[in-house]
Amino acid sequence: MGIEFRRFTAVQERKLRKALEEVRTNPRTTQLPPDLLSMLMLRLAKVGEGEYVGITFRGNDARCSEGSPLTVAYGLGHHNIFLCAKAFAEKDRAEALTATHQPKRRLPAILFHELVHTCGGNEVDAETFENCVFGGEGATLPDMKDLKERFSEVDFKGRWVEMNRRTGKVTRRDTGSLLITFSARRRREK
Ligand SMILES: [Zn+2]
pLDDT digits (tens, 9 = 90+) for 83-104: 888 888 876 455 455 544 555 7
CA of 71 to the centre of ligand 1 (A): 9
Query: Any residues with CB less than 8 A from the CB of 105 and at least 6 apart, and which?
Result: 19, 90, 137, 138
Indicate whether 93 belongs to any domain.
Answer: yes
Ligand 1 centre to CA of 117 (Å) is 7
β strands within the chain, DSSP E: 3-6, 53-57, 80-83, 161-163, 169-172, 178-181
Tally the domains of the chain. Answer: 1
- Ligand 1 midpoint to CA 98 (Å): 28
Question: Ligand 1 centroid vs 99 CA: distance in angstroms?
Answer: 31
Q: Are 109 and 137 in contact (CB under 8 A)?
A: yes
pLDDT at residue number 69: 41
Let me know: does 110 contact 118? Beta carbons within 8 Å.
no
Whether 17 is covered by a domain: the verdict is: yes
CA of 46 to the centre of ligand 1 (A): 25
Burial class (CB in 10 A: 0-12, 13-18, 19+), 5: middle
State which residues form the domain around 99.
3-141
Residue 148 within any structural domain of the chain: no
Going from the Cα of 95 to the center of ligand 1, the distance in angstroms, rounded, reads 25
In a domain, 66, yes or no: yes
Distance, CA 115 to ligand 1 centroid (Å)? 9
DSSP assignments along 107-129, one per residue: HHHHHHHHHHHHTT--HHHHHHH
CA distance 122 to 164: 16
Q: Evaluate whether residue 100 is within a structural domain.
A: yes
Ligand 1 center from residue 130 Cα (angstroms): 10
142: nearest Cα among 101, 181, 179, 105: 181
**Distance from Cα 154 to the centre of ligand 1, integer Å:** 14
Strands 80-83 and 161-163: unpaired
User: Which parts of the chain register pLDDT below 50?
Assistant: 62-77, 92, 95, 99-100, 189-190
Give residue 28's pLDDT: 96
State residue 128's pLDDT score. 96
> Is residue 12 included in any domain, yes or no?
yes
In a domain? residue 179: no
121 CA → ligand 1 middle, Å: 9
Question: Is the residue at 53 inside a domain?
Answer: yes
What pLDDT sits at residue 3? 87
Residue 11 has a pLDDT of 95
The CA 17 to ligand 1 mean position distance, Å, reads: 21
The alpha carbon of 110 and the centre of ligand 1 are apart by a number of angstroms equal to: 9
